[in-house]
Amino acid sequence: MGNFRNIMNILLVEDDQRISSFLLKGLSEAGHNITLADSGEKAREILHTYDFDIILMDIMLPGLDGMQLTQIIRFKGNYTPILVLSALNSPDDKIKMLDLGADDYLSKPFHFEELISRIKALTRRNKLSYQKEDTLLSCGTITIDTDLHKVTQNGNEIEFSPTEYKLFTFLMENKNKVLSRTQILHNVWGIDFDSATNVVDVYISYVRNKIDESEQKIIHTVKGTGYLIKD
């Protein structure tokens, strides 16, 4: 059945005993902690108390259904990945669940290996998102709030264009590391961008013109290589 690299806490919201038994057995054998809720109401109660790495959810549940439960979870500011497992497989059903805040949709019946693959992809994406977005990045008097896309220096907001912001954030995320022009091009402009261009240098100068380096140099040029931000 294949194994995950790390043990995960998984909430399974499923009222069909045959399906839940199959999933409990398979996921437990893979080494994970599974909590079963056989109704939307039970799932809601459990989520008040415990945190999970991922939620596997049926839509057709007694009482509070999967659509209503997804809305409640997201309304409460809980962004745990939700993977829908449903016999409803029309495009409209899928679109509606994704619009309500679900992250992925797997139609029943499905292969267990595909379930494993989807779980891995969702939890990996979620961890990367938290690493990049849920922290304030700072250097000296400059702070980036990545949730608000806001850059401030000494409490004053700096107005960056979207590309300037992306460039400066990439440098800040990799503070104290030398980044080559090729790395910067790849991450800010995309892999197919012309590597002979001087666009990186041009945009570095744009950013430098907007920040105050009179007290402390923020962006350092590494001759023949690229740039870095260091404390």
Indicate if the pLDDT at residue 131 is higher than 80: no
What are the extents of the domains in the chain?
9-123, 136-229
In which element (H, E) is residue 221 found? strand 219-222
3-state secondary structure of 2: coil
Domain 136-229 falls in which CATH fold? Arc Repressor Mutant, subunit A (1.10.10)
Amino acid at 190: G
CATH topology of 9-123 equal to that of 136-229?
no
**69-126 per-position pLDDT tens digit:** 999 998 888 888 999 998 887 777 888 888 888 888 888 888 898 899 889 888 877 6
Position 171 confidence tier, pLDDT thresholds 50, 70, 90:
very high
Number of other CB atoms surrounding residue 81 within 10 Å: 22
Q: What is the pLDDT of residue 230?
A: 87
**What is the value of pTM for the model shown?**
0.55
Encoded tokens for 85: 């497992």
In the sheet with 9-13, reading across from the earlier edge strand, the strands are 33-37, 9-13, 54-57, 82-86, 104-107
Q: What is the pLDDT of residue 163?
A: 83
**Which overall architecture, per CATH, does domain 9-123 show?**
3-Layer(aba) Sandwich (3.40)
